[in-house]
Amino acid sequence: MSPIRSVVPRLLALLLASQAIALALEGVATVPPDPRQVPVAARMNYTRSSADLDGDGAPETLVIVTAITREKEPAKGTEVIVGVIEGKAPADKGALLWSRHLVAATGRPAHGGDLQALDVDGDRRNELILTWDRSLSAEKVDRWGEIWVFDDLARPRKVWEGQWEIDTRKDPDTAVASREFVKRTIDYGATRKAAGRAIVFSKSVGMTAGRALSPPRLVSERVDVGLRAP
């Protein structure tokens, strides 16, 4: 886990425990459609990168920001916004081609967003791997993930979503007998052998049903998807 992602849950807990007025002063009244429009004072973290998503040789600009809102309800205290921006113009002037607001789209809390553009299946086109934390507790990790394919920059396809990481080993709200620690990663070698027909995950199980496993048990999981356009 990156340093930013490891710090975010505790930072979020501190923010949510502070007075609602103090939070509102820093937050945005209305979450903008474009992540670049979130005021600097309302950003918990902001990352900009570039990658060629549609295979035309011109990289798009990718932006992800965790924005503090003025919502008093803790579950809506932050919003993670992802944006894909035209890459032929400067990053601050390019047209917004696609965006996703995770709280609005999923109805669940979202913070600590992470965005990676990687060629998952070896077709020389990058897929977008988006993960974020849904937990409001500093003692629990509940990262969800989505994988997007950009045959059309304005209308990408979500080919997979699911639990990316769950860690309740120290969560006081989870019964000891139900605690678990599972992390999912992509097995790129096996996925590329599937030639666009599947994603193969490697799941590391460090605890299940409250029982720690040392070393962690590794489980291979194949999910049939259409990574390449018909």
Using CA atoms, how far apart are residues 23 and 38, in angstroms rounded to an integer?
A: 15
What's the mean per-residue pLDDT of the chain? 90
Share of the chain above pLDDT 70, in %: 89
Split at pLDDT 50, 70, 90, the class of 21 is very low
Per-residue pLDDT, averaged over 9-25, amounts to 47
Each domain of the chain, given as residue ranges in start order, spans 3-162
Q: Which of 153, 142, 4, 156 is nearest to 66 (CA)?
A: 4
Closest CA to 125 of 108, 146, 107, 149: 149
Mapped onto helix, strand or coil, the DSSP state of residue 13 is helix
**Which residues lie closer than 8 Å to 196 by C-beta, 6 or more apart?**
121, 123, 226, 227, 228
Report how far residue 157's alpha carbon sits from residue 93's, in angstroms, rounded to the nearest whole number.
25
pLDDT, residue 5, reads 54
Number of residues that this document lists for the chain: 230
Report which of residues 230 and 207 the model is more confident about: 207
Residue 181 main-chain phi, psi, to 5 deg: -145, 105
Per-residue confidence band for 75, with pLDDT thresholds at 50, 70 and 90: very high
On the question of pLDDT at 229 being above 50, the answer is yes
Two tokens at 126?
């990058």
Tell me the C-alpha distance between 205 and 212, whole Å: 9
Residue of 53, 55, 35 lying closest to 45 (CA atoms):
35
Q: Please say if the pLDDT value at position 18 is more than 60.
A: no
Query: pTM for the complete prediction?
Result: 0.87
Q: Is the peptide bond before 230 cis (omega within 30 degrees of 0)?
A: no
Position 11 scores a pLDDT of 53
